[in-house]
Each structure stands twice: as C-alpha cells, then as structure tokens.
Amino acid sequence: MGLSLRGLRLEELQDVCVAAGLPKFRAGQVFEWVQAKGAGAWDEMKNVPASVGEALAGAVDLTSLEALKTQVSRTDGTRKYLFRLGDGQTVETVLMLYERKVARDRATVCVSTQVGCAMGCAFCATGLGGLVRNLEAGEIVGQVLEIMRQVRQEDPEFRVTNVVFMGMGEPLQNYGSLLAAISLLNNPKGQNIGMRRMTVSTCGIVPRILDLARDNPQVTLAISLHSARDEVRDRLVPMNRHYPLQELMDACRKYIEITNRRITFEYALVKGVNSSPQDARDLARLTEGLLCNINLIPVNAVRETGLERPTEAENAEFARILTEAGVEVSLREEKGSDIDAACGQLRKRQGGEFLVLNGKV
C-alpha cells in the first residue's frame, strides 16, 4: 500500500509525481481534487487523465475512511461518525453546526489524533484502554474530508470552517502528524481553514506547548485545566504529576509572550471535586493577569468514571465568582446531547462491549 494521498503536502506529492514520470503540475491538480473537493476515486478527478491515476496507483493510496456508523442529533444536527481506519481500528469524529445571525454559519469538526490515549484522565474513558497507536496525518485530515464529502451530497455549498483537535488522543503526543494535518487543512488549495480557526487541545505537555508556540503560533491553544490545585489535578489529569501547575502556567506565560494569543482553559465542573466557591477563587488567582478565557463544562456523567455534575446553581455561582474577579468565562454550549456527543464525551456500544470514545473535556 502506498503513501496516504490525504497526508501528502503539495511538495511531497510533486516529488511523487516526478518520480512516477509525471509532470509536476499534475500534483497540483490531484492535490486540489483530494484536499479541496474530497475526491475519493481517480475517476472523480475530471481534468486528470486516467493514466495519472495508473502511474500513481502503486505509490499513493486514495482509500477514504469508511464511516461505519453515523448518528445525527435531532435537536441541533450534530453528527457523530465512527470511522474505520485501514487497519480496522476505529476513531470517532464529530461535526457541530452553529447558526449565526450575522456572520456565516460555523461548521466545526472535532477530530481524533490517536486511537486510544495514554494520558489516563479521570473523567475520560478513552484513556481506560490505553494508547493503541498514533494516527497518520492523512487519517486526521481524512476525517474532515470524509465529513465534508458526505455533507456536500445534501448541501453542495457546505464548508468546514473550524477544526478542533479534541477527539480521541492527546494531539501533542502525535506532534509530527498534528503539524502536517494543520498545514494541509490550512493550505489555500485545500480546505483553506485559517490557523486561528483551528484549536489544539492538550492536557498540558509543557515542552510541546512551547514547540507549538514556535512552530504554529497562530493556532488556538486550549488546555484541559480542571483544577487550580496540584493535589486535585494530579488525580484528574495524571500528566500533572510530570508537569505540575507551576510549570504549566510558566509555559502558558511563555506561550502568550511568543504568540500574543489568548489561551482557552477548559474546566470540567465535577461535583464535590473541583466546583466549590474556594475552587473558583483558586482558579481566579491562578489565571490572574493571563491573556486567557475559561471554558466551563458541566462534566458528562459517564458510568465508568463515577463523576457527577454539580447543580446549575453551583455552576452559576462558580462562574459568578470568576467573572467578579475579572476572568473571562464561558459556559460551553451543549451540542448533540441526545447522541452523547456533547462536551467531548462520546459513547458507543460496539460488538456488545461498552466502548466510550472520548475527547478532552
């Protein structure tokens, strides 16, 4: 099997074309068909002769991800896809639609970057099974392209406007493929998704946060924070034992210094764990003076984790304390709650086993 065509940068594809005895300009045509229009077969590429597909067939692989299952929310149109990868592994991807009155509508795809995850966050059942493998760039980009392809069958004008790397896996642990996927999705001859419309979410891999600041200063960084106290965060996000809060916050300060970009802190409110008024005051103190906003997420009640949501009144009080302290706060809009797609926790039953595919909260 050849290189995944969806994971090849234009220059790489040019090299492949030249090596196959084809003129360089064929690479540009093929790239556009694949990356902009989501072509899934050589005969879909109208201005590309069949001989090009034949010449490249051994070198590159054009197989699309296979959508094994799609669920559509009846309340807000959120779609959850279960994709099968070439080796039979599966990942989940979510499309969230936001209607806007003034600006154009937003269509955000939440992609997975790994099969499973090694990070073991307490609220996340993806981590329960450990890491299976990293995704290749073509498999990450392929999630966006396949969703675009499918939705365009109903709506030919459909465009993916935003991508969040928040599905299964820790994106900064698959750094090479992440950067390649960002670059491909940003390419003006492809999806042309602005850097600022892409969000990388991490549980706090400090050295990689600084790498990202240098390599891709325009993407949006989201950090799964979940507590302002090390003893609590150690339990919720075990990576905190390697990179405790002080190191993480130092990295955030450097990140902002380098990029001048606002950081989003994700904070899942868990009853009796991190949602008291004192937790809110600690959080306000921790983030004081930082260019940031805090995204509060009522944690999804997942049976395996045993975690519960606070009441709405407790959530409101938590938000009020932060706001009064001058912190910018938002409460994440719930999407696809009827298909368990909200707040990054996606659940699925497959082959009789309870399988939870999850993203960061």
Binding residues vs ligand SF4 (CB under 6 A): 117, 119-121, 124, 126-127, 168-170, 203, 358-360
User: Measured from the CB of residue 110, what is the shortest distance to ligand SF4 in angstroms?
Assistant: 12
Closer of 127 and 310 to ligand SF4 (Cβ): 127
- DSSP summary character for residue 205: -
- DSSP summary character for residue 191: T
User: Measured from the CB of residue 136, what is the shortest distance to ligand SF4 in angstroms?
Assistant: 18
Angle, CA 73 vertex, CA 70 and CA 77 arms, to 5°: 95
d(CA 15, CA 269): 50
User: Measured from the CB of residue 124, what is the shortest distance to ligand SF4 in angstroms?
Assistant: 3
Structure tokens at 44: 């879909």
d(CA 171, CA 173): 5
Nearest Cα to Cα of residue 345 among 305, 296, 294: 305
Residue 105 near residue 98 (C-beta atoms within 8 A)? yes
d(CA 264, CA 173): 19
Give residues with Cβ within 8 angstroms of 342, minimum separation 6: 78, 300, 334, 335, 336
User: Measured from the CB of residue 237, what is the shortest distance to ligand SF4 in angstroms?
Assistant: 7
Residue 135 near residue 193 (C-beta atoms within 8 A)? no
Closer of 6 and 360 to ligand SF4 (Cβ): 360
Strands 90-98 and 106-110: antiparallel
User: Measured from the CB of residue 119, what is the shortest distance to ligand SF4 in angstroms?
Assistant: 4
Closer of 95 and 124 to ligand SF4 (Cβ): 124
What beta strand segments (E) does 73-227 contain?
79-84, 90-98, 106-110, 114-116, 131-134, 162-165, 198-202, 220-224
Closer of 116 and 142 to ligand SF4 (Cβ): 116
* Catalytic (active-site) positions: 92, 343
User: Tokens 């090479």 sit at which residue?
Assistant: 176
User: Measured from the CB of residue 190, what is the shortest distance to ligand SF4 in angstroms?
Assistant: 26
Closer of 96 and 203 to ligand SF4 (Cβ): 203
Closer of 26 and 347 to ligand SF4 (Cβ): 347
CA distances from 151 to 38, 57, 145, 209 (A): 11, 27, 10, 34
User: Tokens 């490249």 sit at which residue?
Assistant: 56
Closer of 146 and 266 to ligand SF4 (Cβ): 266
User: Measured from the CB of residue 200, what is the shortest distance to ligand SF4 in angstroms?
Assistant: 12
d(CA 302, CA 281): 27
